[in-house]
Amino acid sequence: MSHLDKSKIKEIAENLDCGLNCYWNIKTNAILFLPEELGYLLDDDVDDMDIGDEWLQEDFDTIKNNLEDIVVIEKPNSNYSFEIMEAFADQLPNKLDLKSKLYHALNRNKPFREFKFLIDNSDYRKEWFTFKAQKTEEWVEEKIKEIEGK
């Protein structure tokens, strides 16, 4: 099995963040992406599934025809995503008002929505996206290690 380099890990993380699942052919090292809602169609026994979009169709068919060599890397689950938000709040300076507001948001109903609202209306939006990207790349690296360890 070939190891993926940093640029591929970054590409995977960015696509996961956009709602795509990564399909890694462990024999060829090829990486393709599909919207996560199309993943369940790969298990169908239908040979000619019409996706309706030419580039998606090509990737879908390539994945479907090579399923024995494909491993899926999915986006981080909600628990890990919550941990990322907590870790971001933790690393903010204690005297920052935003830090206490983020902690409060994380303990309310709909913490993801509350956190997003606060971040989107703060001066720390760019820092959040950089932090989240780094943590998502770490998630991908861990998944790759798990896959390569099998």
- How far is 14 from 141, CA to CA, in rounded Å? 13
* Per-residue pLDDT at 60: 83
For the beta carbon of residue 42, count every other beta carbon within 10 angstroms.
16
Please give the pLDDT value at position 118. 97
pLDDT of residue 56: 81
Separation of CA 16 from chain center: 3
Give the residue extent of every domain in the chain: 20-73, 78-148
Sheet holding 20-25, edge to edge: 31-35, 20-25, 70-73
pLDDT of residue 37: 76
pLDDT at residue number 4 = 87
Report the distance separating Cα 134 and Cα 130, nearest Å: 6
Which of 148, 129, 149, 94 shows the shortest CA–CA distance to 13? 129
pTM (two decimals): 0.85
- The answer to whether 82 and 90 are in contact (CB under 8 A) is no
pLDDT at 1: 43
Please give the chain's pLDDT, 150 residues, in tens.
Answer: 457 899 999 999 999 999 999 999 999 999 999 988 776 667 665 555 566 667 788 888 888 889 999 999 999 999 999 999 999 999 999 988 999 999 999 999 999 999 999 999 999 999 999 999 999 999 999 999 999 886
